[in-house]
Structure 1
């Protein structure tokens, strides 16, 4: 016959397990708003359709002719955005590309932020790379760049950092 201590051990253990589980659920619930805030914008392509970003994106594209249909329609493949600070100014940068053909046609963009959910301007560089190309020269030797939104030299440098990050063989033969 079990002793009184042994008889109560199983229910007490279950109670402790439930309390630990409840504490874990509460901890996850408290952490969730922070996680949502950290990635509230999602992928770069989605930004171009958000109310606080779309006017700047549309202004950048206005008057441009000969742009790819996927870009005009906002139907590319995209990556997550990155927030960057340059000279005390905040920019959201990211890229998107022609579906099923990213190496050949990509756009790298930057939004200038005045508040966390509002962009005042947008710039981009459309990169067309001839593929396939020989590997004896860097990818940049086979690329055509098209600047959108009239970026100044610091913005061009910011965009080119994104190009180089996404294309490791940009400046070097593979």
Structure 2
């Protein structure tokens, strides 16, 4: 099997980092939390409650793309947690190499709000609405797997394995 990188995507609070790390661990793949690749200026803006724009995200997406490209060039499977909110961002990440796939974790608004209020993170709950306004859920032609972020992690892992094996899956 050729090297593959899975981008676990979704808004802040969706569980993409937690699930991405669990997926990487279960498959014995490398993991990168995209939050760790943000330039300091982006982290400062978010801490101040200022939403990022496309110009802010560009250098961050470049770093995520570089990580993906490096994994694929070294023939290593990987998982990266990255919000990838817009189709154009996902297209940019896909250009990093031949086998980049997306797993979108969809979570209801109230649950996202609850999760964000319960954690200590640079991304304040006040930025959730701007992320949801920016979010373009993956379209059918993007070949992304959509998961229900309320489901148990074991169920999510099983769904990803079936998807990777080419089995038909229900829409979340």
Give TM class, smaller chain. under 0.3
Q: Which has the larger radius of gyration?
A: 1
Please report the TM-score for the alignment, with normalisation by the length of structure 1: 0.25
Please report the TM-score for the alignment, with normalisation by the length of structure 2: 0.25
Bigger helix share: 2
